[in-house]
Amino acid sequence: MRGERTMALGHSSRPSGSGRPRSSSRGMIAEAAAELFLEQTYTGTTVDDIARRSGVSRATFFNYFGSKSDLLWLEVDEALAAFDATAASVADDLAPMDAVLAAVTRLADAFGPGRLPLAVTQVELMGTDAELQASALPRFLALVRRLQAFIAQRTGASPDDLLPRAAATAVVGAAVSAAAAWARAGVGRGPLTPLVRSAVAPVCAGFALVL
């Protein structure tokens, strides 16, 4: 785990009392937060600490992030924001659940050894386990809703029908299980996509019998 700290922060670590040239960059705020979470844990870091380290005002922080916990999900939220476009790029001639598998594995392609959600891979150092569990559910449900709509559109069903909802929930659950195993694998982890595919493919195959 400590070997990942160097990779995640590069050479930008600074004493906790130092400031940065003023910047409203989302990335700079996220980098400053990552440093502080590693230095003094997630719970020991305030929004004011992050704003001071990144050289922005508290108001500017909230222009970019709704809460401190959003910083833990930066890369994940960016990938989820692109999911509708990712799903729309899947070939129209694929069977519905084959299209789901393609969309979910393309989402997983956004992550790999070179792009890691820092807080997920640094849970012990940052002390973020409880916060991650609390803030994961809204993101899980948001992805379920998007995937549910995608399945309904591909099958001609109503988005409120039981089967699209059940399929979306099962697929997202399998993908999250794969992502959790990947996060725990440490510095030797490979790309996320093969794990997601192996977890999601059987679920898609099962629902393909009824959708």
Lowest-pLDDT range, 8-17, 142-151, 165-174, 191-200?
8-17
Domain 2-66 has CATH 2.60.40.10: no
Distance CA 36, CA 160 (A): 43
- The per-residue pLDDT for range 37-55, each reduced to its tens digit, is 889 888 899 999 999 999 9
Q: DSSP for 20-70?
A: ------HHHHHHHHHHHHHHH-STT--HHHHHHHHT--HHHHHHH-SSGGG
CATH architecture for segment(s) 72-207 = Orthogonal Bundle (1.10)
> pTM, whole model, 2 decimals?
0.78
Distance CA 173, CA 154 (A): 20
- The per-residue pLDDT for range 63-121, each reduced to its tens digit, is 999 999 898 888 888 888 899 999 999 999 999 999 999 999 999 988 866 666 665 66
Domain ranges of the chain: 2-66, 72-207
